[in-house]
Structure 1
Amino acid sequence: MTDLTSWLVAAGILVVAELFTGTFYLLMIAIGLAFGALAAWLGLSGPLQTFAAASVGLVATAILHRSRFGRPARMEATRDSNVNLDIGQRVVVDAWQGGRARVMYRGALWDVELGPGAQPEAGDFRIVEVLGSRLIVANS
């Protein structure tokens, strides 16, 4: 197997692995390996091919890391609707007692607290956070 083929097979394997994992970092390394294949196609020596692949892969990874795609959202799990499906759901509060209440939600009694800026009035509320067995709500 020629150097060109080896670089392209390695890049292809990383592209397939990236499709299974969903991370762009493997794709950046695959781009580096593709540049290694380009260096092999140009007839450069083995160490220069490796240097080209490594340097392009590192630069591409660094650029990705500094972009908005390289940084995960810094949202707390207690407020993230992708983690907790209760976030955004509605509850009805009949009466408040000092900023706290008890409501029936999903067939069980839950403690409810007002979130920042919420007004303690009876009615429909939206869940904005779940802290243990407490629902933090905001006016809807």
Structure 2
Amino acid sequence: MEGPTFWWVLAGTLVALELATGTFYLLMLALGAVAGALVAHGGFNASAQIVASAVLGAAATLVWHVKRARNPQSAPAQSNRDVLLDIGQTLTIDDWSADGTARAQYRGAAWSVRYAGEGVPAPGSHRIVAVDGNVLSVTAA
């Protein structure tokens, strides 16, 4: 097998593995394999191909790892405003049970509500902080 063909097959295999596993780091290694293929097309020997592949693959992996480490993780889906538009909305609770739960009308339907704030829940206006299935978690507004 010719040098460039080996590198292109390796790059394709790494991309296929990434699609199967969802490991983004494999795409960074595939970039390294592409570098090896381009160096092979340039007529360089196998050592230069391996070095180019290793350097670009490792550098891309390191850059991606540092980028992910510096960016904060997003909130879980149940309390992420980008996922659930109900987060941050307000509703009125008229009566609380002793266990910190209630039933409330919200968006034209009756919802179960759980108090997620400090202290004892009191009737009045509350802000939705999370949605777990059909249960709204609220705090005092």
CA distance change for structure 1 residues 55 and 70 in 2, over 3 Å: closer, same or farther?
farther
Shift in Å, 1:94: 1.7
Residue in 1 that maps onto 2:55? 55
Residues 13-32 of structure 1 mapped to structure 2, 5 A cutoff:
13-32=13-32
Separation of aligned partners in 1, 2:13 and 2:70: 22
Shift in Å, 1:69: 8.8
Separation of aligned partners in 1, 2:131 and 2:124: 20
Residues 45-124 of structure 1 mapped to structure 2, 5 A cutoff:
45-68=45-68, 73=73, 75-76=75-76, 79-80=79-80, 88=87, 93-96=93-96, 100-103=100-103, 112-115=114-117, 120-123=122-125
- Answer whether contact 1:32 1:52 (CA < 8 A) is retained: yes
TM-score (norm 2): 0.63
Instruction: Render the CA deviation track for 1:30-81: whole Å, top value 9, x for unaligned.
Output: 1100111122122222232112111110001111112259857153576357
Residue in 2 that maps onto 1:39? 39
Q: Give the partner amino acid of 1:12.
A: G
Which stretch shows the higher mean deviation, 24-33 or 91-100? 91-100
Instruction: Render the CA deviation track for 1:114-135: whole Å, top value 9, x for unaligned.
Output: 536xx84335x4431369xx85
The runs of 4+ residues in structure 1 deviating greater than 6 Å are: 104-108
Q: Give the partner amino acid of 1:4.
A: P
Tell me the SS of whatever aligns to 2:128.
strand
Separation of aligned partners in 1, 2:70 and 2:64: 5
Tell me the SS of whatever aligns to 2:114.
strand
Shift in Å, 1:107: 8.2
* Contiguous gaps of at least 5 residues in structure 1: none
* Contiguous gaps of at least 5 residues in structure 2: none
Identity %: 36
Residue in 2 that maps onto 1:136? 137
TM-score (norm 1): 0.64
Q: How many residues align?
A: 134
Shift in Å, 1:11: 0.6
Q: Give the partner amino acid of 1:33.
A: A
Separation of aligned partners in 2, 1:43 and 1:53: 15
- Answer whether contact 1:64 1:70 (CA < 8 A) is retained: no
Tell me the SS of whatever aligns to 1:103.
strand
Tell me the SS of whatever aligns to 1:18.
helix
Q: Give the partner amino acid of 1:112.
A: R
